Amino acid sequence: MKPPAVLHLDIDAFFAAVEEALEPALRGKPLIVGGLAHERGVVCTASYAARRYGVHSGMALRTAARKCPHAVFRRGRYHLYRRISERFFACLRRFSPRVEEMSVDEAYVDLGGSRYLCPSVYELAARVKAAAERETGLRISAGLGRTRLGAKLACEAAKPGGLLWLLDEPEFVAGLTLDKVPGVGPQTFFVLQGLGVRRGRELQAKYPALWRKVFAGQYAGGMERERPEAAHPSLSRETTFPHDIRDEGLLHSHLAYLLDRLAVQLLRDGLYAGRVEVKARFSDFSTFTRRAALPFPTYSYFHLWQGALPLLRALLRERELPLRLVGAKVEGLQEARDLLPFFSLKDEKMTAAIGAVKERFGFSSLRNGRSMLLEEMYPVEREGMVLKTASLTK
Protein backbone atom coordinates (compact mmCIF):
# COMPACT_ATOMS: atom_id res chain seq x y z
CA MET A 1 0.00 0.00 0.00
CA LYS A 2 1.21 3.46 -0.79
CA PRO A 3 1.85 5.80 2.11
CA PRO A 4 -0.81 8.43 2.85
CA ALA A 5 -0.47 11.79 1.14
CA VAL A 6 -2.20 14.99 2.17
CA LEU A 7 -1.95 18.23 0.26
CA HIS A 8 -2.67 21.54 1.96
CA LEU A 9 -3.39 24.54 -0.25
CA ASP A 10 -3.77 28.15 0.75
CA ILE A 11 -4.42 31.09 -1.57
CA ASP A 12 -1.87 33.83 -0.91
CA ALA A 13 -3.33 37.04 0.54
CA PHE A 14 -6.64 35.94 -0.95
CA PHE A 15 -8.88 39.04 -0.82
CA ALA A 16 -6.02 41.39 -1.61
CA ALA A 17 -4.94 39.20 -4.52
CA VAL A 18 -8.43 39.33 -6.04
CA GLU A 19 -8.46 43.13 -5.80
CA GLU A 20 -5.03 43.27 -7.43
CA ALA A 21 -6.13 40.98 -10.23
CA LEU A 22 -9.07 43.28 -10.98
CA GLU A 23 -7.11 46.47 -10.58
CA PRO A 24 -3.54 45.83 -11.75
CA ALA A 25 -2.47 49.35 -10.70
CA LEU A 26 -2.67 48.06 -7.11
CA ARG A 27 -0.04 45.39 -7.74
CA GLY A 28 2.95 45.58 -5.45
CA LYS A 29 1.37 48.37 -3.40
CA PRO A 30 0.47 47.89 0.24
CA LEU A 31 -3.20 46.93 0.07
CA ILE A 32 -5.52 46.29 2.98
CA VAL A 33 -8.93 44.67 2.63
CA GLY A 34 -11.47 44.80 5.44
CA GLY A 35 -12.56 48.42 5.63
CA LEU A 36 -11.43 51.98 5.20
CA ALA A 37 -8.58 53.45 7.22
CA HIS A 38 -10.78 55.44 9.59
CA GLU A 39 -13.36 52.71 10.10
CA ARG A 40 -13.84 50.56 13.10
CA GLY A 41 -13.07 46.95 12.26
CA VAL A 42 -10.19 44.71 11.46
CA VAL A 43 -7.96 43.82 8.56
CA CYS A 44 -9.28 40.77 6.68
CA THR A 45 -6.31 40.45 4.36
CA ALA A 46 -3.14 42.45 3.89
CA SER A 47 -1.08 42.15 0.72
CA TYR A 48 2.52 41.07 1.13
CA ALA A 49 3.62 44.64 0.50
CA ALA A 50 1.49 45.76 3.47
CA ARG A 51 2.75 42.89 5.65
CA ARG A 52 6.25 44.29 5.35
CA TYR A 53 5.01 47.19 7.47
CA GLY A 54 3.85 44.82 10.17
CA VAL A 55 0.21 44.80 9.10
CA HIS A 56 -1.55 41.45 9.51
CA SER A 57 -5.09 40.10 9.43
CA GLY A 58 -7.07 40.62 12.61
CA MET A 59 -5.32 43.92 13.31
CA ALA A 60 -7.51 46.98 13.91
CA LEU A 61 -7.84 49.06 10.73
CA ARG A 62 -6.73 52.18 12.53
CA THR A 63 -3.59 50.47 13.79
CA ALA A 64 -2.89 49.29 10.25
CA ALA A 65 -3.35 52.85 8.99
CA ARG A 66 -0.82 54.07 11.56
CA LYS A 67 1.73 51.41 10.62
CA CYS A 68 1.31 51.93 6.93
CA PRO A 69 -0.21 55.36 6.23
CA HIS A 70 0.16 55.15 2.45
CA ALA A 71 -1.64 51.80 2.18
CA VAL A 72 -4.68 51.49 -0.07
CA PHE A 73 -7.77 50.45 1.89
CA ARG A 74 -10.70 48.55 0.41
CA ARG A 75 -13.91 47.38 2.06
CA GLY A 76 -13.89 44.15 0.08
CA ARG A 77 -16.27 42.46 -2.33
CA TYR A 78 -17.19 39.32 -0.47
CA HIS A 79 -19.68 37.93 -2.98
CA LEU A 80 -16.88 37.92 -5.50
CA TYR A 81 -14.40 36.23 -3.14
CA ARG A 82 -16.98 33.58 -2.41
CA ARG A 83 -17.46 32.85 -6.11
CA ILE A 84 -13.72 32.42 -6.60
CA SER A 85 -13.56 30.31 -3.47
CA GLU A 86 -16.21 28.00 -4.91
CA ARG A 87 -14.21 27.71 -8.12
CA PHE A 88 -11.13 26.82 -6.06
CA PHE A 89 -12.88 23.99 -4.20
CA ALA A 90 -14.59 22.69 -7.36
CA CYS A 91 -11.20 22.46 -9.03
CA LEU A 92 -9.74 20.50 -6.10
CA ARG A 93 -12.66 18.07 -6.14
CA ARG A 94 -11.76 17.02 -9.65
CA PHE A 95 -8.56 15.52 -8.27
CA SER A 96 -9.85 13.85 -5.15
CA PRO A 97 -13.18 12.96 -3.59
CA ARG A 98 -11.82 13.94 -0.19
CA VAL A 99 -11.45 17.68 0.06
CA GLU A 100 -11.86 19.45 3.35
CA GLU A 101 -12.61 23.14 3.25
CA MET A 102 -10.86 24.78 6.16
CA SER A 103 -11.79 28.35 5.32
CA VAL A 104 -12.63 30.34 2.20
CA ASP A 105 -9.13 29.96 0.81
CA GLU A 106 -7.68 26.91 2.49
CA ALA A 107 -8.21 23.19 1.97
CA TYR A 108 -6.81 19.77 2.62
CA VAL A 109 -6.88 17.33 -0.26
CA ASP A 110 -6.37 13.61 0.24
CA LEU A 111 -4.14 12.46 -2.59
CA GLY A 112 -3.77 8.97 -1.13
CA GLY A 113 -6.27 7.42 -3.51
CA SER A 114 -5.52 9.66 -6.47
CA ARG A 115 -2.16 8.14 -7.30
CA TYR A 116 -3.45 6.43 -10.39
CA LEU A 117 -3.74 9.91 -11.91
CA CYS A 118 0.01 10.25 -11.73
CA PRO A 119 2.76 7.95 -10.46
CA SER A 120 4.65 10.66 -8.58
CA VAL A 121 2.70 12.19 -5.74
CA TYR A 122 4.82 15.31 -5.88
CA GLU A 123 4.06 15.77 -9.53
CA LEU A 124 0.40 15.22 -8.82
CA ALA A 125 0.51 17.88 -6.10
CA ALA A 126 2.16 20.28 -8.53
CA ARG A 127 -0.57 19.55 -11.05
CA VAL A 128 -3.34 20.24 -8.53
CA LYS A 129 -1.68 23.50 -7.51
CA ALA A 130 -1.21 24.60 -11.12
CA ALA A 131 -4.82 23.79 -12.02
CA ALA A 132 -6.15 25.71 -9.01
CA GLU A 133 -3.95 28.69 -9.87
CA ARG A 134 -5.09 28.66 -13.47
CA GLU A 135 -8.75 28.47 -12.57
CA THR A 136 -8.71 31.11 -9.86
CA GLY A 137 -6.09 33.32 -11.50
CA LEU A 138 -4.39 33.59 -8.11
CA ARG A 139 -1.14 32.47 -6.58
CA ILE A 140 -1.45 29.52 -4.21
CA SER A 141 0.94 28.01 -1.68
CA ALA A 142 0.95 24.26 -1.20
CA GLY A 143 2.45 21.69 1.16
CA LEU A 144 2.56 17.95 0.86
CA GLY A 145 2.90 15.62 3.83
CA ARG A 146 1.87 12.30 5.27
CA THR A 147 -0.52 13.98 7.71
CA ARG A 148 -2.53 17.16 7.89
CA LEU A 149 -0.04 18.68 10.25
CA GLY A 150 2.87 17.88 7.94
CA ALA A 151 1.02 19.28 4.93
CA LYS A 152 0.07 22.45 6.79
CA LEU A 153 3.60 23.04 8.05
CA ALA A 154 5.05 22.42 4.60
CA CYS A 155 2.57 24.91 3.15
CA GLU A 156 3.50 27.55 5.73
CA ALA A 157 7.14 27.10 4.79
CA ALA A 158 6.31 27.28 1.07
CA LYS A 159 4.69 30.71 1.30
CA PRO A 160 4.37 32.66 -0.84
CA GLY A 161 3.53 30.65 -3.90
CA GLY A 162 5.73 27.60 -3.42
CA LEU A 163 5.21 23.87 -3.12
CA LEU A 164 7.09 21.86 -0.53
CA TRP A 165 7.09 18.18 0.31
CA LEU A 166 7.87 17.34 3.90
CA LEU A 167 9.74 14.05 3.65
CA ASP A 168 10.89 13.16 7.13
CA GLU A 169 7.84 14.23 9.02
CA PRO A 170 8.30 12.63 12.47
CA GLU A 171 11.82 14.01 12.67
CA PHE A 172 10.65 17.44 11.57
CA VAL A 173 7.82 17.54 14.10
CA ALA A 174 10.10 16.38 16.91
CA GLY A 175 12.44 19.27 16.24
CA LEU A 176 9.71 21.83 15.81
CA THR A 177 9.22 24.60 18.36
CA LEU A 178 5.67 24.13 19.52
CA ASP A 179 4.46 27.66 18.78
CA LYS A 180 4.68 26.68 15.11
CA VAL A 181 2.06 23.98 15.59
CA PRO A 182 -1.42 25.04 14.52
CA GLY A 183 -3.65 25.03 17.58
CA VAL A 184 -0.89 25.91 20.05
CA GLY A 185 -1.47 29.56 20.87
CA PRO A 186 0.96 31.97 22.54
CA GLN A 187 -0.56 31.31 25.95
CA THR A 188 -0.24 27.53 25.73
CA PHE A 189 3.29 27.94 24.45
CA PHE A 190 4.11 30.18 27.40
CA VAL A 191 2.82 27.56 29.85
CA LEU A 192 4.73 24.78 28.08
CA GLN A 193 7.94 26.77 28.22
CA GLY A 194 7.41 27.14 31.96
CA LEU A 195 7.38 23.34 32.12
CA GLY A 196 10.68 23.21 30.28
CA VAL A 197 9.07 22.13 27.03
CA ARG A 198 9.86 23.98 23.83
CA ARG A 199 10.08 21.38 21.13
CA GLY A 200 7.97 18.47 19.93
CA ARG A 201 10.38 15.82 21.19
CA GLU A 202 10.45 17.28 24.71
CA LEU A 203 6.69 17.27 24.89
CA GLN A 204 6.54 13.73 23.57
CA ALA A 205 9.06 12.48 26.15
CA LYS A 206 7.83 14.37 29.22
CA TYR A 207 4.09 14.64 28.70
CA PRO A 208 2.95 11.92 26.31
CA ALA A 209 -0.73 12.46 27.14
CA LEU A 210 -0.45 16.16 26.41
CA TRP A 211 1.46 15.37 23.25
CA ARG A 212 -1.44 13.27 22.05
CA LYS A 213 -3.83 16.06 22.95
CA VAL A 214 -1.86 18.73 21.11
CA PHE A 215 -1.58 16.55 18.04
CA ALA A 216 -4.96 14.86 18.20
CA GLY A 217 -6.71 15.24 14.93
CA GLN A 218 -3.61 16.49 13.18
CA TYR A 219 -1.11 13.74 13.49
CA ALA A 220 -3.02 10.67 12.49
CA GLY A 221 -1.95 9.24 9.14
CA GLY A 222 -3.46 10.68 5.98
CA MET A 223 -6.71 12.55 6.30
CA GLU A 224 -7.87 10.50 9.27
CA ARG A 225 -8.54 12.42 12.43
CA GLU A 226 -8.42 10.89 15.84
CA ARG A 227 -11.95 11.11 17.07
CA PRO A 228 -11.98 10.64 20.80
CA GLU A 229 -15.48 12.05 20.90
CA ALA A 230 -16.81 10.12 17.95
CA ALA A 231 -19.69 8.81 20.00
CA HIS A 232 -20.70 12.34 21.01
CA PRO A 233 -20.16 14.59 18.04
CA SER A 234 -20.75 18.27 18.43
CA LEU A 235 -21.07 21.39 16.33
CA SER A 236 -19.70 24.70 17.45
CA ARG A 237 -19.32 28.30 16.39
CA GLU A 238 -17.37 31.03 18.06
CA THR A 239 -16.14 34.48 17.29
CA THR A 240 -13.49 36.81 18.63
CA PHE A 241 -14.72 40.38 18.68
CA PRO A 242 -13.00 43.22 16.83
CA HIS A 243 -12.72 44.88 20.26
CA ASP A 244 -13.53 43.66 23.77
CA ILE A 245 -17.21 43.97 24.65
CA ARG A 246 -18.81 44.68 28.00
CA ASP A 247 -22.29 45.61 26.78
CA GLU A 248 -24.57 42.75 27.69
CA GLY A 249 -27.08 43.44 24.93
CA LEU A 250 -24.36 43.24 22.33
CA LEU A 251 -23.09 39.98 23.82
CA HIS A 252 -26.60 38.55 23.66
CA SER A 253 -26.73 39.57 20.00
CA HIS A 254 -23.57 37.66 19.23
CA LEU A 255 -24.82 34.58 21.05
CA ALA A 256 -28.15 34.76 19.23
CA TYR A 257 -26.37 34.94 15.90
CA LEU A 258 -24.15 31.94 16.65
CA LEU A 259 -27.15 29.90 17.80
CA ASP A 260 -29.02 30.89 14.69
CA ARG A 261 -26.18 29.49 12.60
CA LEU A 262 -26.07 26.31 14.67
CA ALA A 263 -29.83 25.77 14.37
CA VAL A 264 -29.64 26.04 10.59
CA GLN A 265 -26.69 23.66 10.57
CA LEU A 266 -28.53 21.11 12.71
CA LEU A 267 -31.53 21.36 10.46
CA ARG A 268 -29.42 20.93 7.35
CA ASP A 269 -27.59 17.91 8.80
CA GLY A 270 -30.80 16.36 10.12
CA LEU A 271 -29.54 16.30 13.70
CA TYR A 272 -31.08 16.92 17.09
CA ALA A 273 -29.03 18.39 19.92
CA GLY A 274 -29.28 17.18 23.50
CA ARG A 275 -27.16 19.85 25.18
CA VAL A 276 -25.99 23.37 24.60
CA GLU A 277 -22.73 24.87 25.82
CA VAL A 278 -21.62 28.49 25.99
CA LYS A 279 -18.02 29.65 26.13
CA ALA A 280 -16.74 33.02 27.24
CA ARG A 281 -13.21 34.34 27.05
CA PHE A 282 -12.50 37.46 29.06
CA SER A 283 -10.11 40.25 28.16
CA ASP A 284 -7.42 38.63 30.36
CA PHE A 285 -7.83 35.41 28.29
CA SER A 286 -9.39 33.46 31.14
CA THR A 287 -11.92 31.13 29.56
CA PHE A 288 -15.04 29.53 31.05
CA THR A 289 -17.67 27.22 29.67
CA ARG A 290 -21.07 26.17 30.95
CA ARG A 291 -23.47 23.67 29.57
CA ALA A 292 -27.04 22.66 30.07
CA ALA A 293 -29.33 19.90 28.89
CA LEU A 294 -32.11 20.91 26.51
CA PRO A 295 -35.66 19.90 27.45
CA PHE A 296 -35.65 17.36 24.61
CA PRO A 297 -33.36 16.64 21.63
CA THR A 298 -34.08 19.43 19.17
CA TYR A 299 -32.82 21.72 16.43
CA SER A 300 -35.08 24.55 17.54
CA TYR A 301 -33.33 27.92 17.73
CA PHE A 302 -35.74 28.98 20.43
CA HIS A 303 -34.82 26.11 22.74
CA LEU A 304 -31.13 26.64 22.09
CA TRP A 305 -31.56 30.28 23.00
CA GLN A 306 -33.59 29.52 26.13
CA GLY A 307 -30.96 27.03 27.21
CA ALA A 308 -27.95 29.20 26.37
CA LEU A 309 -28.95 32.62 27.63
CA PRO A 310 -28.84 31.74 31.36
CA LEU A 311 -25.45 30.13 30.73
CA LEU A 312 -24.07 33.33 29.23
CA ARG A 313 -25.50 35.35 32.11
CA ALA A 314 -23.87 33.03 34.62
CA LEU A 315 -20.55 33.24 32.76
CA LEU A 316 -20.65 37.03 32.83
CA ARG A 317 -20.83 36.87 36.60
CA GLU A 318 -17.54 34.93 36.73
CA ARG A 319 -15.34 37.96 36.15
CA GLU A 320 -15.80 41.70 36.07
CA LEU A 321 -14.09 42.07 32.72
CA PRO A 322 -15.20 42.65 29.16
CA LEU A 323 -15.28 39.67 26.81
CA ARG A 324 -13.04 39.05 23.83
CA LEU A 325 -14.74 35.92 22.55
CA VAL A 326 -18.05 34.14 22.78
CA GLY A 327 -18.80 30.66 21.53
CA ALA A 328 -21.68 28.22 21.41
CA LYS A 329 -21.68 24.48 20.99
CA VAL A 330 -24.38 21.87 20.62
CA GLU A 331 -23.64 18.37 21.82
CA GLY A 332 -25.21 14.98 22.30
CA LEU A 333 -26.20 15.03 18.65
CA GLN A 334 -28.44 12.30 17.34
CA GLU A 335 -30.04 11.53 14.03
CA ALA A 336 -33.31 10.33 15.44
CA ARG A 337 -35.31 10.76 18.61
CA ASP A 338 -38.32 9.32 20.29
CA LEU A 339 -41.35 11.46 19.76
CA LEU A 340 -42.35 13.26 22.89
CA PRO A 341 -46.02 14.07 22.54
CA PHE A 342 -46.07 16.16 25.69
CA PHE A 343 -43.62 18.72 24.28
CA SER A 344 -44.86 21.33 21.88
CA LEU A 345 -42.99 21.27 18.59
CA LYS A 346 -44.33 24.65 17.57
CA ASP A 347 -40.96 26.38 18.03
CA GLU A 348 -39.23 23.68 16.11
CA LYS A 349 -41.60 24.06 13.19
CA MET A 350 -40.85 27.76 13.24
CA THR A 351 -37.11 27.06 13.03
CA ALA A 352 -37.74 24.63 10.17
CA ALA A 353 -39.80 27.22 8.28
CA ILE A 354 -37.17 29.90 8.81
CA GLY A 355 -34.47 27.43 7.79
CA ALA A 356 -36.28 26.64 4.55
CA VAL A 357 -36.47 30.33 3.63
CA LYS A 358 -32.79 30.83 4.48
CA GLU A 359 -31.82 27.78 2.45
CA ARG A 360 -33.57 29.19 -0.59
CA PHE A 361 -32.90 32.91 -0.32
CA GLY A 362 -29.69 33.01 1.71
CA PHE A 363 -28.97 33.01 5.42
CA SER A 364 -29.53 36.75 5.74
CA SER A 365 -32.92 36.75 4.04
CA LEU A 366 -34.59 36.38 7.44
CA ARG A 367 -32.75 37.99 10.28
CA ASN A 368 -33.07 37.37 13.96
CA GLY A 369 -34.17 40.49 15.83
CA ARG A 370 -31.81 39.67 18.67
CA SER A 371 -28.76 39.92 16.44
CA MET A 372 -29.80 43.18 14.75
CA LEU A 373 -27.30 45.10 16.85
CA LEU A 374 -24.52 43.30 15.02
CA GLU A 375 -25.46 44.90 11.73
CA GLU A 376 -23.72 48.04 12.90
CA MET A 377 -20.56 46.06 13.58
CA TYR A 378 -20.26 43.72 10.63
CA PRO A 379 -21.11 43.71 6.93
CA VAL A 380 -24.19 41.62 6.15
CA GLU A 381 -23.98 39.34 3.16
CA ARG A 382 -26.33 36.85 1.59
CA GLU A 383 -24.90 33.96 3.55
CA GLY A 384 -24.52 35.74 6.87
CA MET A 385 -22.47 38.38 8.55
CA VAL A 386 -18.79 38.83 7.99
CA LEU A 387 -17.54 38.39 11.53
CA LYS A 388 -14.00 39.18 12.48
CA THR A 389 -12.57 36.12 10.76
CA ALA A 390 -14.06 35.27 7.42
CA SER A 391 -13.46 31.57 7.96
CA LEU A 392 -15.98 31.50 10.80
CA THR A 393 -18.78 32.72 8.63
CA LYS A 394 -18.25 30.20 5.89
Binding residues (CB under 5 A) for Mg ion: these are: 10-11, 14, 105
Angstrom distance (rounded) from CA 137 to CA 48: 17
Is the four-CA dihedral 125, 126, 129, 130 of positive or negative sign? negative
Which residue in 10, 15, 71, 18 sits closest to 44, CA to CA? 15
Which residue in 69, 113, 64, 107 sits closest to 88, CA to CA? 107
| Residues 274, 308 contacting (CB under 8 angstroms) | no
Residue 148 C-beta: closest distance to Mg ion, Å: 16
Angstrom distance (rounded) from CA 114 to CA 4: 11
Q: What are phi and psi of 19, to 5 degrees?
A: -60, -40
Catalytically active residues are 106
Angstrom distance (rounded) from CA 4 to CA 340: 46
When the beta carbons of 10 and 133 are compared against Mg ion, the nearer one is 10
**DSSP annotation of 286:** -
Q: What are phi and psi of 176, to 5 degrees?
A: -75, 135
Which residue in 296, 293, 309 sits closest to 258, CA to CA? 309
Other Cβ atoms within 10 Å of 159 Cβ, number: 17
**DSSP annotation of 96:** -
Where helices occur in the chain by DSSP H, the ranges are 14-22, 48-51, 61-67, 78-93, 121-136, 148-158, 169-175, 186-194, 200-206, 208-215, 248-269, 301-316, 346-361
